[in-house]
Amino acid sequence: MIRVSGLTKEYGIRRAIDNITFEAEQGEIVGFLGPNGAGKTTTMRILSGYMPPTEGEATVAGFDIVSESIEVRRRVGYLPETVPLYSDMTVFDYLKFMADLRHLPNAEERVDDALEMVGMEERADGYIGKLSKGMRQRIGLAQALLHRPEVLILDEPTIGLDPGQVVEVRNVIREIGRERTVLLSTHILSEAQQLCDRVLIINKGRIVAEDTPENLQASLVGAERGVLRVRGEIDGLIETISKIKGISNVQPKEDDVLEFQFAPGQDVRAEVARATVKAGYDLLEMRPIGMSLEDIFLQLTREESAETES
Amino acid sequence: MRNIWTIAKREYKIYFNSPLAYIVMLTVLGVVALIFGANIINLTTNTFGFSQVPDITIFTGPMAFMLLFSAPALTMRLLADEQRMGTLELMLTAPVRDWELVVGKWFGSFLFVLTLIVVSLIFPYILNSMVDPGIDQQLMLSSYLGIILVSAAFLSIGVSISAMFSNQFVAFFLSLVVLVILWFLIGIPSQLFFTGGEIFGYLDMNSRFYDSLNQGIINLSDIVYFLSVTALGLFIGSVVIEMRRWQ
């Protein structure tokens, strides 16, 4: 559905993206993960037909993004990062306008459907200028869904939403991703983990890693970490926990908190809990610590610079 | 064509949401009404009856002049604001060609001015009932054709300049400067130099209206001139929008 090969974009002398190559199939949700300024938005803008690349080729839904730009734009639903909306229009008028530009038959029905998908039916007659950030985000998403596009390109779709809305929007995306192609960008690892079939990590305009979220995490994380909190002082427990098979590197973090490492895929929680209670402590909390995007990121970029040095 | 109509319709509606458009309409019609009224009073009080039968140029002339100042105010927002608000990204990723966007914006403002022109028909109507045997129909047709053509050209220049800036006030002032040059200044060299000055005379917008269409003379060359300026403005606007994609 999306085929990108050797895509490069230069702004003056600055290279925003450098020789990016990837593919995304129908029924797949692909996530772009990376820090600000990594080139996520530039790549998405090129694929949505907003601007041509300096070098390289890409096809979306079988059409070339430069020579058949209009055909590409007909088939893509795009939510830009800044969520531009006409604040002087009502929600309904705005979506009707966008539907008319796409020559949709029964445009009003489509608008109602899209509003329902993002849970904004009740605000149809309100002015866009009066909406909160989260609502604007949802209207932007409704706009991208209007024509039931084959390919959905979403630049930071859940940014600015409250937790309840984040869950709703993710459900909408997951629903669409079943039959269509979704390319979304995020800098939240847990979001990529929950939503994406595949993740592309992008840094300084290059793709530095590409895999399923699980594999990425597993390959990068040598050991998993867990946190244990009990009532009272924890010092006496350190030795007991250290003795459990598979656990290493037990460190006290606070008076009542300790952190331990264990091999990935090995569930030690039951044993830790038993040992804690057996030693006469009240177990208050135990949870795994996932690796954050920042950790993964630092590790990847460190590996990359090590490679170039050797 | 459909996209042009969709975009024009939106712009047309938005004019009626903004105080600026009402101010423009009231100012143009108000000033024209004053001049019209003053002319009528002057002509009726100075002599018994009309010394000279007034024709419709007593208000079509001032109206063209007022539109020169109104056009930049009506077009300044059209594309500059899209860039400022970021909605240009929306338009450029919708299945709309760049020229359709520019022509649609222009057509929206043109429809607004046409509305204003239709409202202004009240003046020839009043005049027609005052003079005997009624107003000169040929002059009426050619003056109004002139006003419509002049407006189309003014607005197209305004739209093309609005495409170049994200600040609407910069767009307003530059449009005004360009229109003042084309209307008042460009013809001057043709009066100063006997040789080589003709080219400037050819470009003079002012004389193509006041000395020709507004005198009841319908020349194909004047019509072609105004249509060419309009097309050129829209073409430049489209090129500017396309260039924005490459930035």
Model confidence over A215-266: pLDDT tens digits? 776 666 656 778 888 888 887 788 888 888 778 778 888 888 888 887 766 7
Token pair listed for B137: 């129909």
Chain A nearest-CA distance from B17, in A, is 8
pTM: 0.84
CA torsion angle B186 B189 B194 B200 (round to 10): -20
Instruction: Tell me the average pLDDT across B172-176.
Output: 96
Rg, chain A, Cα only: 24
Q: What percentage of chain A reaches a pLDDT higher than 70?
A: 90
Mutate: best of B77, B90, B241, partner A, most A CBs <10 A: B90
Confirm or reject contact between B96 and chain A (CB < 8 A): yes
Token pair listed for B1: 């064509």
Enumerate the residues of chain B whose CB falls inside 8 A of the CB of residue A73.
93-95
Sign of the torsion angle spanned by Cα atoms B20, B22, B25, B26:
negative
Q: How many Cβ atoms sit within 10 Å of the Cβ of residue B164? A: 19
> Does the distance separating the beta carbons of A11 and B93 come in below 8 Å?
no
For helices A91-101 and B2-15, the axis angle rounded to 10 degrees is 160
**What is the structure's pLDDT at A38?**
85
Can you list the pairs that A216-219 forms with residues at least 24 positions away whose Cβ atoms lie under 8 Å?
Answer: A216/A296, A217/A193, A217/A290, A217/A291, A217/A296, A218/A264, A218/A265
Residue in B113, B19, B15, B119 with CA at minimum distance from that of residue B67: B113
> Does the distance separating the beta carbons of B86 and A74 come in below 8 Å?
no
- Does the pLDDT at position B46 exceed 70? no
pLDDT band with cut points at 50, 70 and 90 for residue A99: very high
Enumerate the residues of chain A whose CB falls inside 8 A of the CB of residue B85.
84, 86-87
**CB of B153 within 8 A of CB of B229?**
yes
Who contacts A88 (Cβ-Cβ below 8 Å, separation ≥6)?
Answer: A127, A128, A129, B14, B17, B18
Distance CA(A214)–CA(A224), nearest Å, equals 13
User: What is the predicted ipTM?
Assistant: 0.89
> Does the distance separating the beta carbons of A84 and B90 come in below 8 Å?
yes
* Residue B92: strand, helix, or coil: helix
- Comparing CB atoms, the residue among A86, A100, A101 nearest residue B87 is A86
**CB of B1 within 8 A of CB of B99?**
no
Q: What is the β-pairing status of strands A55-60 and A2-11?
A: antiparallel
Enumerate the residues of chain B whose CB falls inside 8 A of the CB of residue A100.
2, 6
Confirm or reject contact between A98 and chain B (CB < 8 A): yes
Read off the amino acid at residue B27: T
